[in-house]
Homo-oligomer: A and B are copies of this chain.
Amino acid sequence: MSSFQQLFSSKRRPQVSCESCSLGRLCIPQGLSEQEVELVSRIVTINRTLGKGDYLYHSGEWFHRFLALKSGTVKLVTLDGAGNEYVVDFVMPGELLGFDGLSGERYTCSAIALETVSYCELPPHQLERLGREIPKLSQILLQLSGSQFQLGIQRVVLSRRQADERLAAFLAHLSERHRKRGFSPTEFRLSMTRQEIGNYLGLAPETVSRLMSQFEASGLIVVQGKMVRILDMDGLLRFCPQ
């Protein structure tokens, strides 16, 4: 079914461009002039669609494109020699995928759709070429890459904290990202399983579940399956130092 979707969208290739994309202020166009965005628009392949569980790219595959997520959520995972999966990041609309291919010639992670996703493709070589004409573009790309490093630092700090602080910070971070995208920061759906949250936070899924119940008992949140409502954001933030 999803391969059908892919085929369908490849053929259709609707002519919507970056100028009209509502995610521009989060994505590459941030800080580019209208004219420059138009140039970027030309090298972008737009509106591909994939279903839940589909791979946007595989670890080990040649790094041949950045992806700009338009809708849906993606998990970025890497594997060790024993086949264990490690969730490296969750990616939301307006964010770029592919930084794990930047240092070598191949991706080191796999990007997997957690629900139906749509995205644009940006060939790195063309981005690079365009970067010579638009210096600001190179700068933005470097800055976005720097943000990834920054996220890594945040994770280092988080990984040293107690289980409840990690989960509270995770929920607060999700809330903030929903807010930035114009969605409710207090009520949203978790697109990932408890297992995946636990993997991401370095916790057992049972621990995640227990903490959710604990937060609910404390009156901080209400949980109903994948839906979460935050009742007491301040209380949640009190768990997160910094």
Binding site for B on A (CB under 8 A): 78, 80-82, 84, 86, 88, 99-104, 108-109, 128, 131-132, 135, 138-139, 141-153, 155-157, 159-160, 202, 241-242
Contact A150 B108 (CB under 8 A): yes
Q: In chain B, what residue has the closest Cβ to A152? A: B152
A132 CB contacts on chain B under 8 angstroms: 132, 135
For the complex with contacts A109-B153, A152-B152, 14 further pairs of A-B residues with Cβ separation under 8 Å are A78-B156, A78-B157, A82-B242, A101-B146, A102-B149, A103-B143, A103-B147, A103-B150, A132-B132, A141-B142, A145-B149, A148-B152, A149-B152, A159-B159
- CB of A103 within 8 A of CB of B146, answer yes
A–B pairs, 9, beta carbons within 8 Å: A100-B150, A100-B153, A103-B143, A104-B150, A108-B150, A108-B153, A128-B135, A141-B142, A159-B159
In the assembled complex, the Cα of A149 lies from the Cα of B144 at a distance in Å of 11
| Chain B residues positioned under 8 Å from A150 (CB to CB) | 100, 102-104, 108
Q: By the criterion CB–CB under 8 Å, are B153 and A241 in contact?
A: no
By a CB distance below 8 angstroms, the chain B residues around A84 are 160, 241
Residues of B contacting A101 in the complex (Cβ-Cβ under 8 angstroms): 146
State in angstroms the CA–CA spacing of A106 and B126 once bound together: 30
> Which residues from chain B contact A135 at a C-beta distance below 8 Å?
128, 131-132
A155 to B158, CA, bound (A): 13
Q: Enumerate the 8 nearest inter-chain pairs by beta-carbon distance, A residue then B residue, closest first.
A: A102-B146, A152-B152, A103-B146, A81-B242, A103-B147, A80-B242, A145-B145, A81-B241
Please, which residues of chain B bring their CB within 8 A of the CB of A100?
A: 146, 149-150, 153
